[in-house]
Structure 1
Amino acid sequence: MNKELLEHSLSFNRRKFLSKLSLGIGSVALGSLLIPDLFSGKPDEEALMAGLPHFAPKAKRIIYLFQNGAPSQLDLFDYKPKLQEMFGQDLPESIRMGQRLTGMTADQKKFPLAGTVFNFKQYGKHGAWFSELLPHIAAVSDDLCIVKSMYTEAINHDPALTFFQTGAQVGNRPSMGSWLSYGLGSENKNLPAFCVLLSKGSGNGQGVYSKLWTNGFLDSIHQGVQFSSGDNPVLYLNNPESISKDDRRKMLDKINALNAESFKEFGDPEINTKIQQYEMAFRMQTAVPEITDMSKEPESIVKLYGPECLVPGTYAANCLLARKLSENGVRFVQLYHQGWDGHNNLPGEIKGQCKDVDQASAALITDLKQRGLLDETLVIWGGEFGRTNYCQGALSKDNYGRDHHPRCFTIWMAGGGVKPGVYGETDDFGYNIIQDKVHVNDFHATVLNLMGLNHEELTYKHLGRRYRLTDVAGKVIDGIIA
Structure 2
Amino acid sequence: MCEKHHKKIYTSDQDLQQEEKKLSRRKFLTKTSLGLGAMALGSLMGAEKLFAGERTNTNPLGLPHFMPKAKRVVYLFQSGGPSQFETFDYKPKLTNMFGQELPASVRGQQRLTGMSAQQSSFPIAPSKYSFDQYGESRAWVSELMPHTAEVVDDLCFIKSMYTEQINHDPAITFLQTGHQLPGRPSIGSWMSYGLGSDNKNLPSFIVLVSKNAGGQPLYSRLWGNGFLPTEHQGVQFRSGKDPVLFLNNPDNYHGHDRQEMLKYLKELNEMQYTTYGDPEITARISQYEMAFRMQTSVPEVTDMSDEPDYIFDMYGEDSRDPGTYAANCLMARRLLEKDVKFVQLYHRGWDQHVGLPWGIKNQCKNTDQATAALIKDLKQRGLLEDTLVIWGGEFGRTAYSQGQLTTKNYGRDHHPRCFTMWMAGAGVKSGFTFGETDDFSYNIVKDPVHVHDFHATLMHLTGIDHERLTYKHQGRRFRLTDVHGHVVKDILA
- Normalised to the residue count of structure 1, the TM-score between the two structures is 0.91
- 1:374 maps to amino acid: L
* Conserved 8 A contact 1:201-1:353: no
- 1:370 maps to amino acid: Q
* Conserved 8 A contact 1:239-1:248: no
Which residue number in structure 1 is paired with residue 219 of structure 2? 209
Deviation at 1:50, TM superposition (A): 1.5
* Conserved 8 A contact 2:49-2:55: no
Deviation at 1:17, TM superposition (A): 10
Deviation at 1:463, TM superposition (A): 1.1
Which residue number in structure 1 is paired with residue 481 of structure 2? 470
Task: Give the 5 Å matches for 1:258-407.
Answer: 258-407=268-417
Aligned length: 455
- 2:460 maps to amino acid: N
> Structure 2 residue aligned with 1:103, among 114, 117, 126?
114
How far apart in 1 are the matches of 2:150 and 2:199?
A: 33
- 2:209 maps to amino acid: L
* Conserved 8 A contact 2:41-2:50: no
How far apart in 1 are the matches of 2:320 and 2:122?
A: 44
Task: Give the 5 Å matches for 1:22-171.
Answer: 31-34=51-54, 49-50=60-61, 52-171=63-182
* 98 and 294 in structure 1: CA distance in 2 versus 1, 3 angstrom threshold: same
Deviation at 1:245, TM superposition (A): 3.3
> Structure 2 residue aligned with 1:238, among 245, 248, 254?
248
Which residue number in structure 1 is paired with residue 190 of structure 2? 179
Deviation at 1:254, TM superposition (A): 2.3
Which residue number in structure 2 is paired with residue 22 of structure 1? none
Cα deviation code 1:268-287 (max 9, x no counterpart)? 11011110000000001110
How far apart in 1 are the matches of 2:41 and 2:390?
A: 41
* Conserved 8 A contact 2:51-2:282: no
Unaligned segments of structure 1, at least 5 residues:
1-11, 20-26, 38-46
How far apart in 2 are the matches of 1:29 and 1:121?
A: 53
Please say if 1:445 is aligned against 2:456: yes
- 1:391 maps to amino acid: S
- 1:249 maps to amino acid: Q
Cα deviation code 1:411-467 (max 9, x no counterpart)? 111101111211111111111111110000000000000001100001111111110
Match of 2:477, SS state, is strand
Match of 2:336, SS state, is helix
Identical counterparts, % of pairs: 62
* Conserved 8 A contact 1:201-1:337: no
Cα deviation code 1:86-126 (max 9, x no counterpart)? 11000000000121000000000100000000011011112
Cα deviation code 1:145-198 (max 9, x no counterpart)? 011000000000000000000000001100000000011001101000000000
Unaligned segments of structure 2, at least 5 residues:
1-35
Match of 1:245, SS state, is coil
- 1:98 maps to amino acid: Q
* Conserved 8 A contact 1:200-1:338: no
How far apart in 2 are the matches of 1:103 and 1:33?
A: 52
* 109 and 242 in structure 1: CA distance in 2 versus 1, 3 angstrom threshold: same
Deviation at 1:59, TM superposition (A): 0.5
How far apart in 1 are the matches of 2:69 and 2:207?
A: 23
* Conserved 8 A contact 1:29-1:275: no
How far apart in 2 are the matches of 1:200 and 1:444?
A: 27
How far apart in 2 are the matches of 1:49 and 1:233?
A: 28
How far apart in 2 are the matches of 1:99 and 1:67?
A: 24
How far apart in 2 are the matches of 1:244 and 1:28?
A: 30
* Conserved 8 A contact 1:173-1:217: yes
Q: State the structure with more CA Rg.
A: 2
* 260 and 18 in structure 1: CA distance in 2 versus 1, 3 angstrom threshold: farther
Cα deviation code 1:23-72 (max 9, x no counterpart)? xxxx99994224589xxxxxxxxx98526200011111000000000000
Which residue number in structure 2 is paired with residue 6 of structure 1? none
- Give the ranges of 4+ consecutive aligned residues of structure 1 lying more than 3 Å apart after TM superposition: 12-19, 27-31, 34-37
- 1:260 maps to amino acid: E
